[in-house]
Amino acid sequence: MHRYNVKPPPPLSGFDTMNAQMTKNVSNERRLLQCHLSSLQSVMTHVVAYFISQSAMEAAISTLVSQFKACAGKDGSANTLSKEEFQNLVSTHLPNLVKLSSDPGAIDQLMSSLDENNDGELTFSEFWQLIGKLASKQAGLS
């Protein structure tokens, strides 16, 4: 078998220079575009955060309301806590801040201290008194 020794064609200096310049231009354009995209991304992140994010305090309020609603919706009125619902809320969501003694009357006592209209149900504002008391106690304000 005969092999031909094929040499690469001589470089086209003008073409290579033009090609190198175009590659450089494309690369600069790409860098510029990436820069614009990252600025746009940053602006969008701030816009989205402005509309959907909550401060820690707002998030805490949302948590309180959603957990109250979840517990209150188990029986009877969906907007108020029965004794069983209240007991479930306290033991599930406030296990460290509310230590009820094993005395079964303890939950009745706590509930009646909050039940302002004595109807055996806690509205959110009646329940909210407990959160206020716990927060004050925790902060050493009471």
Best CA proximity match to 82, nearest among 61, 60, 90, 39: 90
The CA R_g of the chain, rounded to the nearest whole Å, is 34
* Cβ proximity to Ca ion, 83 vs 94, nearer residue: 83
Q: Return the residues of window 70-109 that contact Ca ion according to CB under 5 A.
A: 72, 76-77
CA distance 67 to 89: 8
Q: Segment contacting Ca ion (CB under 5 A): 39-47, 87-95, 115-123, 129-137?
A: 115-123
By CB under 5 A, residue 119 contacts Ca ion: yes
What 3-state class would DSSP assign to 81? Answer: strand
Q: Smaller CB distance to Ca ion: residue 36 or 69? A: 69
Contact residues toward Ca ion (CB under 5 A) are 72, 76-77, 115, 117, 119, 121
